[in-house]
């Protein structure tokens, strides 16, 4: 079974090859994770209920690109609309609520056995409100920072994809494990810091949006950006393998979702880093 450090793409049944490969991700040939795909091993007995229906299409790179564009378009449109129409006095409540609801939506999507396109689009809309609100806050303090962060985010993602393709980067199990554990450890540290900040009113390790900048705050942002970029590498590799191994077409929504989650993380960290550099 394919693995990725992205919590969304590392879903247990994500991108599992369809029936012709003849075994589950656990190596138990008696279990078929997608029994209704319509693809059969040579010489196997086909279920009569499947013979009348056409087999499900398989995921292609074009599918992933198209659905990623759709999800990102929903997110960007919602961010722009929320920035424009949410009253300024509701910025903080909208920021907090969208962050919490977006987190719950991520869990709902990632824990489902089959990906739900409506939930993916719902996540994009909710996260769009969060992006719109946090971008408004940063832009009000540092004019022009949103444009800088957007350019930096897409440049980093594009450079990562180019390096992955042109330098023929190969992802090893050891590399995957290191990035996965590092990402989980970083997320745990940030969660503890967030709870500490709420309890004490002190911004903690990352510092506030304004005020003095510490080397630790800058270092944490740099570490976060590096981890986000490494997650992109693993996500590209994971999707490429999913296409090669014949994942069902519906799984392209999961790939689009995982990439969007990573891109949002990268954008937030770019906002933070640029704000530090501009103080």
Task: Give pLDDT tens digits for 76-120.
Answer: 999 999 999 999 999 989 998 998 898 889 888 888 888 889 999
Position 208 pLDDT exceeds 80 = no
Position 171 pLDDT exceeds 60 = yes
Q: What's the confidence (pLDDT) of residue 79?
A: 96
- b/e 141-162 (16+ beta carbons within 10 angstroms → b): ebeebbebbeebbeebbeebee
* Residue of 242, 253, 260 whose CA lies nearest to 67: 253
Say which residue, 242 or 128, is predicted with more confidence: 128
Chain length of the chain: 279
Q: Which residues contact 73 (CB under 8 A, 6 or more apart)?
A: none
Place of tokens 């930096």: 152
CA distances from 153 to 86, 146, 159, 248 (A): 25, 10, 10, 30
* Residue of 146, 229, 144 whose CA lies nearest to 182: 229
Q: What's the confidence (pLDDT) of residue 38?
A: 40
Cα–Cα distance between 221 and 209 in angstroms, integer?
13
**Number of helical H runs and strand E runs in the chain:** 8, 0
Average pLDDT over residues 226-237: 92
Cβ(217)–Cβ(205) under 8 Å? yes
Q: What's the confidence (pLDDT) of residue 34?
A: 37
Q: What percent of the chain has pLDDT over 70?
A: 80
Average pLDDT over residues 65-70: 93
């Amino acid at each position: 079974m394919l693995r990725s450090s992205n919590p969304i793409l590392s879903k247990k049944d994500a991108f599992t090859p369809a029936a012709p490969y003849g075994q589950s991700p656990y190596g138990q040939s008696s279990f078929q994770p997608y029994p209704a795909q319509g693809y059969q091993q040579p010489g196997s007995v086909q279920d009569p209920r499947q013979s009348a229906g056409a087999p499900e299409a398989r995921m292609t790179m074009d599918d992933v690109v198209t659905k990623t564009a759709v999800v990102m378009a929903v997110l960007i449109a919602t961010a722009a609309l929320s920035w424009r129409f949410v009253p300024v006095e509701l910025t903080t409540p909208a920021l907090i609520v969208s962050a919490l609801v977006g987190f719950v939506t991520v869990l709902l999507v990632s824990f489902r056995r089959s990906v739900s396109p409506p939930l993916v689009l719902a996540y994009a809309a909710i996260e769009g409100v969060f992006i719109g609100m946090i971008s408004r806050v940063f832009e009000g303090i540092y004019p022009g920072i949103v444009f800088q962060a957007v350019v930096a985010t897409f440049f980093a993602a594009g450079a990562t994809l180019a390096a992955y393709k042109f330098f023929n980067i190969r992802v090893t199990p050891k590399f995957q494990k290191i990035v996965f554990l590092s990402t989980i450890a970083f997320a745990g540290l940030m969660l503890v810091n967030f709870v500490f900040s709420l309890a004490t009113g002190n911004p903690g390790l990352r510092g506030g949006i304004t005020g003095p900048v510490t080397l630790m705050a800058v270092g944490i942002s740099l570490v976060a950006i590096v981890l986000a970029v490494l997650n992109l590498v693993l996500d590209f590799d994971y999707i490429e393998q999913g296409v090669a191994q014949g994942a069902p077409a519906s799984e392209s929504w999961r790939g689009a979702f995982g990439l969007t989650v990573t891109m949002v993380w990268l954008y937030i960290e770019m906002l933070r880093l640029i704000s530090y550099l501009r103080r």
